[in-house]
Structure 1
Amino acid sequence: MGTTRRVTLNDVAAASGVSRATVSFVLNDDPHQTISAATRTRVREAARQLGYVPHGVARALREGASRVVVINIDAGMEGNYSRSFVGGLDSELGLHGHVLLVRHGHRTAEASRQVLDAITPRAVLNFGEAFLTGRELDDLGGGWRDGLAAHAALQIRHLVDRGHSRIALALPDADTPLATARLRFADETARSLGAAPLLSFVVPRPRAAGTVAVRAFRAAHPEVTAVAAFNDDVALRALTAVQDLGLSVPDDIAVMGFDDTEYGELMTPALTTVHIDAEAHGRLAARLALGLDPGGLSPVPARIIARDSA
């Protein structure tokens, strides 16, 4: 029985009327090449119609355990940190001839079993696993050096440095071990800096519910002058609620985000936040998953994006 010939870059180039190099640049999304949007669309459409599969992906699916790494990302953990982590993980795996399969959101045991049976991956990673198993100081960044503890501390320190001694941590309406770890690290930082123990409260969806929650918290704790949010999403809910109550940010209460999504910059006032580049964390995870020496990879320190809200 004959076998179906694999579609190549040359086939895509011929179908789209461009060079093989142009096809490669488009399909690899090379940022250093200036290629028109029309050409990019034409190349991608030709690749889709021909059923082109990059050679590395095809090889990974054929070889199963030796070439595929799976990462699971739970709902509520998506953001700039997870995107940069996955980017580093994917790039490093690619350097070593492996491909990455990313699974987002809730997963049933049956669905997970079907995936594992179908591709027999080299490794299965759970994003933020250290935080989900109580080993949050074992993260690849070293916890207080450049991991979650250090990032949480950076947020609280920024607010304390601006004169806030009564700070609350605004949490999402989904209870996660990650939120528990953040609260513990943030509270430890506040105490070490001489601030009062942190209070915490949930800012739920939708907008009206968030406003009710913030009103109730403000009534019970008028001494709080700053809110450190679990992430930018929660921060924007809190900021909107404060404004709905007729209060001013940051004059009446400061609001600070975490993880630097693009939406914070678009608000008025623009959101102060913590930016974390996790590419090196992702690369380290890839090397460990493949049993390689982690080498001299150093995570980039997190930094404050100072805007108008805090």
Structure 2
Amino acid sequence: MTPREVKEMAGRRVTAADVARSIGVSRATVGYVLNDTPGARISPETRRRVLQAAAHLGYQPSRVAQSLARGRSRIVLIVVPDWPFEYTLRAHLDEAARVLDEAGYATITYTHHESEHTRPLWKLVEPEVVVGLVPFTPSEVRSIRAAGITRIAPDPVRHVDLGSMPAVVMGAELQVRHLATTGCRRIAFAAPSDKRLSDLSAVRQRAAAREAAALGLEWVDAREIDYHDESLPTLLHGWLAAGVSGVVAFNDDIAAMIVGAAARAGIEVPGALAVVGHDNKPVASYFAPTISSVAIDSVDLGRWTAGQALHLAEGRTTTEGVPELNAILFPRESTKRP
């Protein structure tokens, strides 16, 4: 190795290629020696020279390269849909990361945007398993498999969509059932205006409408609510004029907007209009009046997500298909009628 090459190598990690070049042998020979490859025919003298050069140059094996050579990166990539990163999603991912950490796996979360201008992260970090919080599209599955990754959840062979996932629809169904118990007969749905949530909102809206029909309630309206829309009191008066007595809100933030707008418009909640939220965020319990809300056990969902990854990585027993979860209704002042 020339003095110039030694100088260029200073300040960066020494590679096996550097070791090979320094003593004039092939990169493969160095790899056989440093990895102690069984069956490799390396003379004792060549082995001695390789080990001596590696020690002299300060060679340290790359942990990533070693793990990839073994086929085990011990990295789980969790692909998150392009949703706002809120309270329940954080709880879900925190618990999944905790369970995976205890099993010896590092967790990377990644939001895959539809208008992706960079290479997908599964092509850059060599994950052992890729788990999606919602089903992957066929093009995403092709891209993941093209990166050499075969351990994918949800199972890309099965047809799974948002509408078939209990964690997505069961909360909306419980919201409607709760309003029915308070005497509401005509229902409206308040959706977010954030286009990133349009698919999820549409699925919940359809689930709520189906449940209302099953209970003999009248489905009156569904509207998008903008956080900056000052016409919300007008909308609420229009709902009252149409006989709406209960509102299914997409989440607790939307529910708080409706309850606040009702107060400014002189509409009694729950006297004239009962409102039920979703997610059971802290805001639901400290808003005035407090907001009834449905909670899906995000911690349990996080454990299930981790379980899917460990099943693929290690063959651990796990629940097939979708998780069995409970939706819990927390009744508060926004729906408590005499």
TM above 0.5, yes or no, is yes
**Distance (Å, rounded) in 2 between the aligned partners of 1:61 and 1:127:** 29
Q: For residues 44-123 of structure 1, what are the structure 2 equivalents within 5 Å?
A: 63=67, 66-104=73-111, 106=113, 108-113=115-120, 115-123=121-129
For the residue of structure 1 that corresponds to 2:218, the secondary structure is coil
1:182 is the counterpart of 2:204 = yes
Please, which of 120, 127, 130 is the counterpart of residue 124 of structure 1?
130
Q: CA 1:198–1:213 in 2, change beyond 3 Å: closer, same or farther?
A: closer
Report what 1:255 is aligned to: 275
1:135 is the counterpart of 2:161 = yes
Q: CA deviation at 1:294?
A: 4.1
Q: CA 1:293–1:237 in 2, change beyond 3 Å: closer, same or farther?
A: same
Q: CA deviation at 1:192?
A: 1.1
Report what 2:48 is aligned to: none
Report what 1:280 is aligned to: 300
For the residue of structure 2 that corresponds to 1:121, the secondary structure is coil
CA contact (8 A) 1:151 1:274 kept: yes
Report what 1:227 is aligned to: 247
**Distance (Å, rounded) in 1 between the aligned partners of 2:168 and 2:220:** 17
Q: CA deviation at 1:287?
A: 2.7
Query: Which protein is bigger by CA-based radius of gyration?
Result: 2
User: In the alignment, residue 120 of structure 1 is paired with which amino acid?
Assistant: E
Report what 2:265 is aligned to: 245
1:171 is the counterpart of 2:191 = yes
Q: CA deviation at 1:244?
A: 1.9
Unaligned runs of 5+ in 2: 1-8, 13-61, 138-158
Q: CA deviation at 1:193?
A: 1.2
For the residue of structure 1 that corresponds to 2:267, the secondary structure is coil
Q: For residues 149-164 of structure 1, what are the structure 2 equivalents within 5 Å?
A: 149-164=169-184
Identity in percent: 24
Q: CA deviation at 1:98?
A: 1.0
| TM-score where L is the length of structure 2 | 0.63
Deviation sequence 1:94-145 (CA, Å, 0-9, x none): 23221111235857523353x33431222333333389x9713543xxx3xx
Unaligned runs of 5+ in 1: 5-57
Deviation sequence 1:201-248 (CA, Å, 0-9, x none): 111121525445445x436x5300011100111111111121221211
Q: CA deviation at 1:170?
A: 0.4
Q: CA 1:296–1:116 in 2, change beyond 3 Å: closer, same or farther?
A: closer
1:202 is the counterpart of 2:208 = no
For the residue of structure 2 that corresponds to 1:187, the secondary structure is helix
| TM-score where L is the length of structure 1 | 0.69
**Distance (Å, rounded) in 2 between the aligned partners of 1:116 and 1:130:** 13
CA contact (8 A) 2:293 2:331 kept: yes
**Distance (Å, rounded) in 2 between the aligned partners of 1:275 and 1:118:** 36
Q: How many residues align?
A: 249
For the residue of structure 2 that corresponds to 1:168, the secondary structure is strand
Report what 2:318 is aligned to: 295
Q: For residues 15-26 of structure 1, what are the structure 2 equivalents within 5 Å?
A: none
Q: CA 1:109–1:76 in 2, change beyond 3 Å: closer, same or farther?
A: closer
Report what 2:334 is aligned to: 309
Deviation sequence 1:252-282 (CA, Å, 0-9, x none): 1111110011112121101110111122322
Q: CA deviation at 1:300?
A: 4.9
Q: Tell me whether 88-97 or 233-242 shows the greater mean CA deviation.
A: 88-97
